[in-house]
Amino acid sequence: MSKAIFWMRRDMRFDDNHALSQATNNFDEVYPVFIFDEKILTKLKDKSDARVNILYRRLQELSKVNKIHILFGDPVELIPKIVKLTGASDVFANEDYESYALKRDKTISKKIQLNLYKDTVVMRYDEIVNGKGLPYRVFTAYKNTWLAKLESDYRFIGEYKIKRKNIKTTKTIEKLEINSLDEIGFNLSDAKISKINFDVIDEYDQKRDFPALDNTSKVSVHLRFGFISIRSLVRKVLPIDNNGKKIWLSELVWRDFYFSILANFPHAEKNCYRPEFDLIEWSDDKKAFKAWCAGETGVPIVDAGMRELNTTGFMHNRVRMIVASYLCKTLLIDWRKGEKYFAEKLLDFDLSANNGGWQWSASTGCDASPYFRIFNPYTQGKRFDPDCEYIRKYVKELEGVESKAIHNPDKERISKNYIEPIINYSKQRIKALAMYKKAKEEYLC
């Protein structure tokens, strides 16, 4: 009787799962295991972290169908241990491209037979290259090649069938299991995530930038944890018969692109992708950063976005760009601080996408917004939330204030109930341009 371990990671589903398919179609008994990695969890400050709760509840739901052995500890030690306990010959898992995961998997591979498969992305970082075999640095060129490759071979989005009868449990692993979040130092909460809304796709191109419309598919969290297959999402929009589907698919391609950038240019995880901007002298204004985090900058659209993040664990993508630009190019604070704060708060936090998004906004990244493009938060608010529905939802102090006043940057104080802007946008814009220009000039010297 052949035995194998299926190590569930960021692929939390029993359908269309590449590694699980390979395991169940080649072994008689496959034992699903999930490990709460102590090295990751010990870094989380909030012991009621919604993401940990979401994961735990998902595991409980899946275990009603096929039991998953839930463990806590260091995978480098636990994976070889359960291989020995069960007599399994192989471990199956899907690839994870983050630096910590790559190092962890390499270490484990020296101890046991670890079989890894592509599942998190449609196109792996080494599958989309230019004519010289080098990774793309410009998104449009990457996307065109990505789409052409998909069209030439739809097996990239084929569904992986699971032989469910071969998914088993074993008492030899049960003795290592945890029975509650309390055992690992976390509190159980009622944290939930929104259901995916595919109905928005057809009009996605027209309505995606307006946060008050709530016209996003809410798929990002489901993708982050692998509750749904990326391949199934691409299959969902084919054929591309309207512009809404086209733009929505582009967002999935952006996701693959950012995975590719971080895998091919690992220095971008900690440093600016563009080295000239490592010379920027960022502000260390702790008071301003604290105000930004709390949504108390005195700039309505920025404060609304940060308060949405702090209360829901989500932020509309257009607003993410606005608050990021404000932090880096108005407050002149290092993008890495904002990236770290998002990492702590976002339910859909994904290292590659978070890093890519922040470096795009800060103009330090690959194919990023040019440094002289500085979002005016008042203009952005007026354009994308003209009636202030989104702003008033999260900035309650402005409920009785006219929209015209809310979008007016010249007023020192919008309302007596609302704080004054902590900084002058126009003056800071001039400083930002000088800051970036100085870094570029010093780099060339």
Please check whether residue 169 lies inside any domain of the structure.
no
Residue 6: phi, psi to the nearest 5?
-105, 115
Residue range(s) defining the domain that contains residue 131: 121-157+198-264
H or E segment and range at residue 384: helix 377-384
| pLDDT (mean) for 317-343 | 98
CATH number for 293: 1.10.579.10
Domain boundary, last residue among 94, 120, 146:
120
Largest separation between any pair of C-alpha atoms in the chain: 76
Q: How confident is the model at residue 411 (pLDDT cuts 50, 70, 90)?
A: low
Task: Examine the domain organization and report whether 252 and 281 are in the same domain.
Answer: no
Q: Do the domain assignments include residue 125?
A: yes
pLDDT per position as a tens digit, 209-252: 999 998 999 999 999 999 999 999 999 999 999 999 999 999 99
Q: Dihedral sign for Cα 209, 332, 221, 103, please.
A: positive
Share of the chain above pLDDT 90, in %: 95
**Would you state the pLDDT for residue 127?**
97
pLDDT score, position 343: 97
Which residue's entry shows tokens 């590659």?
352
Q: Is residue 176 part of a domain?
A: no
The reported pLDDT for the residue numbered 377 is 96
Give pLDDT tens digits for 174-217: 999 999 999 999 998 888 899 999 999 999 999 999 999 989 99
Answer yes or no: do 421 and 287 share one domain. Answer: yes
Q: Is 189 inside any structural domain?
A: no
Answer yes or no: do 307 and 388 share one domain. yes
Residue 186 lies in a domain: no
Shared domain for 289 and 218, answered yes or no, is: no
Q: Which residues contact 249 (CB under 8 A, 6 or more apart)?
A: 234, 237, 240
Q: What is the percentage of the chain residues whose pLDDT exceeds 70?
A: 100
Residues 365 and 318 in one domain: yes
What is the DSSP-derived secondary structure letter of residue 30? E
Q: DSSP assignment, residue 158?
A: P
Task: Please count the structural domains in the chain.
Answer: 3
pLDDT at 372 over 90: yes
Same domain, 422 and 304: yes
Do both 51 and 129 map to the same domain?
no
Q: Could you tell me if 303 and 242 lie in one domain?
A: no
Mean pLDDT of 16-27: 98
Q: Quick one: 347 and 311 in the same domain? A: yes
- Give the H or E element holding residue 307: helix 300-312
